[in-house]
Each structure stands twice: as C-alpha cells, then as structure tokens.
Homo-oligomer: A and B are copies of this chain.
Amino acid sequence: MGIDIEGYLAENKRLVDEALQSYLESGSPGQTKLREAMRYSALAGGKRLRPILMIASCDAVGGEREKVLPVACALEMIHTYSLVHDDLPSMDDDALRRGIPTNHKVYGEATAILAGDALLTDAFGLIVNKGREAGIDSGVLCEVVGDISSAAGSSGMIEGQAVDLLLTDTEEVSLGDVERMHMLKTGAMITVAVRTGGRIGGSNGNDLKRLASYGSSIGLAFQIIDDLLDIDGEGDLGKERGGDARHGKSTYPEIAGIETSKRKAAELTRNAILQLRDFDGRAEPLREIARYLGCRTF
C-alpha cells in the first residue's frame, strides 16, 4: 500500500499553487497595491498543508479533485490572511515569514491589514462562485461556508489567536491552556480542511466524524512538533528559530518537557491513523500525511 508521499505532496502543492495564482491574478488590477499585497503573501510558498489535506480527504472518500480545489484554495487564503494579521506590530510583530519580509514590512501596516481582510472576504466568494462552477451542490456549499466560518471565526481560529495573546507573558500557563489554544488556533482550521474534503467528496455523517477526529488529532500533533522544531530543530523554518521564547509564549514542550511532547505527538499521530481504520486504500495519502508530519526532523 506504499505511496510516494513526497511526490503526492509535491504534486498537490503544485496544483494548489497554480490554482491560487490563477484566482488571485484574475479580476481588475485596481488602482492600489492591495492586490499585489494579497498575492505577495498568498503566493509566498508555504507547505499548503490545509488545502492538501482537503484534497487528500476528498480522495479518501472517492471524490473529484476538480471539485474540491477551489475550496481548498479559499481555505489557504483564509490561512494566509491569519498569518498576515498575526505578524502585525500589535500582534506578534514578526519581520520574517516563509523566509521573506512580512507583509506589513513591505507594504505598510494599513495595506497589510486590508490585504488580510480582502483575502478573507474574497475567499468566501471563491467558495460559492468557483464551487458552483465546479459542480458542487448549493446545499453542500452552504454547509461548507458555515463550517469554514465557524472554524475561522470567533469560536475557532480568531478566538485561538486572542487566547494566544492572552497567554503571552502570562505566568503559570497550564498544559490544558496551551492545548485549548492550539485546538482553536491551528486545530480548527486543519479539522475543517479534512471535514470539508470529505463533505465535498460526498461523505456521510459517521465518516465525516472520523475524518474530523483525524484532523483534530493531527492538528494538535502538528502544533506540538512545530513548537519542538522552534526550540531544537534542524533545517530552514523560513523564520528565526526561538521565536516562541522571544515572544514570551508558553509552548507545549516548555511546559511538558521535550520527551513527553514527543510521546504526545506520536500518540496523536497513531490516534489519527486509527480513525481511518474503516477507510480503504484511497485513504492511504491521509495516513501517510499523518506519518510524514509525525516524523518531521526534531
């Protein structure tokens, strides 16, 4: 059942990059640098983890990749907006992202805020407009808009960022606090990526639950490993190492210790794969992505 996971990731990253580029280059150029600033961050590379997970989840239930692609790109636009806003001076005040200067360093703070707003706003239009062109049923599209709004909004990612800011420089942060923050800030969007792929692929209630549970497990594992890499990793992160400590952020490994964190990440990875036990060979990419993420160098 072995698949070439690196090939699979590269092929789907290329699909997402090309589609994103075509969506972001269509439309009138406008009078301002707004669209340039949107493209700057959205086309700056990145692993494309969320859209690839959505595609892999659609593959896992035998859905059509052409249908899911525009929605996958919209989710990546929402992820990108969140990075642009998180990097702002009043938030994490970061100068580097994905190896290049952050949006506000290049375009100024006002344009960076607007570029983030526009990536978020345009993403919802992309879902319904390109989703219908691709043949997704309107009822399914409404579910998808509701799911993604919920994952990205005030009960999901944005609350996660607010909790992150609250915990920053706070004494006595518990492991539960950090876990809840990660589940909201990163987990919700990764979970909705996987759930949405299944939904567009035509999956039913119980399978959707299992896919969501897979997503929520790898979401937390991903974040714990990210935090481990920030302390002690090898290779190029595209940003300065040690940023968490410098920003006064409490991380999972800092509170639980490095060994416990590694064990937790491995356990979450196993649990994610276990959720897919009733899926057939078409779910192999999802399983391999979990293994691949669980084995990142640290």
**A91, closest chain B residue (CB):** B110
Q: Provided the pairs A159-B30, A159-B34, A163-B31 are in contact, do residues A153 and B118 lie with their beta carbons within 8 angstroms?
A: yes
A297 in the interface (beta carbon within 8 A): no
A121 in the interface (beta carbon within 8 A): yes
**Cα-based distance from A154 to B117 in the complex (angstroms):** 9
User: Are B121 and A158 closer than 8 Å at their CB atoms?
Assistant: yes
- Contact residues in B for A260 (Cβ distance below 8 Å): none
**Cα-based distance from A139 to B129 in the complex (angstroms):** 11
User: Interface majority SS on A: helix, strand, loop or mixed?
Assistant: helix
**Cα-based distance from A85 to B121 in the complex (angstroms):** 14
User: Are A114 and B161 closer than 8 Å at their CB atoms?
Assistant: yes
Q: Provided the pairs A125-B150, A149-B125, A154-B34 are in contact, do residues A91 and B118 lie with their beta carbons within 8 angstroms?
A: no
A106 in the interface (beta carbon within 8 A): no
User: Are B124 and A149 closer than 8 Å at their CB atoms?
Assistant: yes
A111 in the interface (beta carbon within 8 A): yes
**A129, closest chain B residue (CB):** B146
User: Are A145 and B124 closer than 8 Å at their CB atoms?
Assistant: yes
The copy count of this chain in the complex is: 2
User: Are B120 and A91 closer than 8 Å at their CB atoms?
Assistant: no
Closest Cβ–Cβ distance, residue A16 to chain B (whole Å): 20
**Cα-based distance from A44 to B88 in the complex (angstroms):** 27
User: Are B159 and A117 closer than 8 Å at their CB atoms?
Assistant: no
- Chain A 129-142 interface 0/1 with B at a Cβ cutoff of 8 Å (1 = within): 10110000111011
Extra contacts besides A28-B155, A116-B117 (8): CB < 8 Å: A85-B113, A91-B110, A113-B113, A114-B158, A123-B149, A125-B150, A128-B143, A138-B138
Can you list the 3 inter-chain pairs with the closest CB atoms, starting with the nearest? A125-B149, A90-B109, A121-B153
| 24 pairs, A vs B, C-beta closer than 8 Å | A27-B154, A31-B159, A31-B166, A31-B180, A32-B163, A34-B154, A85-B114, A88-B113, A111-B165, A118-B153, A121-B149, A121-B158, A122-B154, A123-B149, A125-B145, A125-B146, A125-B149, A127-B145, A128-B142, A128-B143, A128-B149, A131-B142, A137-B138, A138-B138
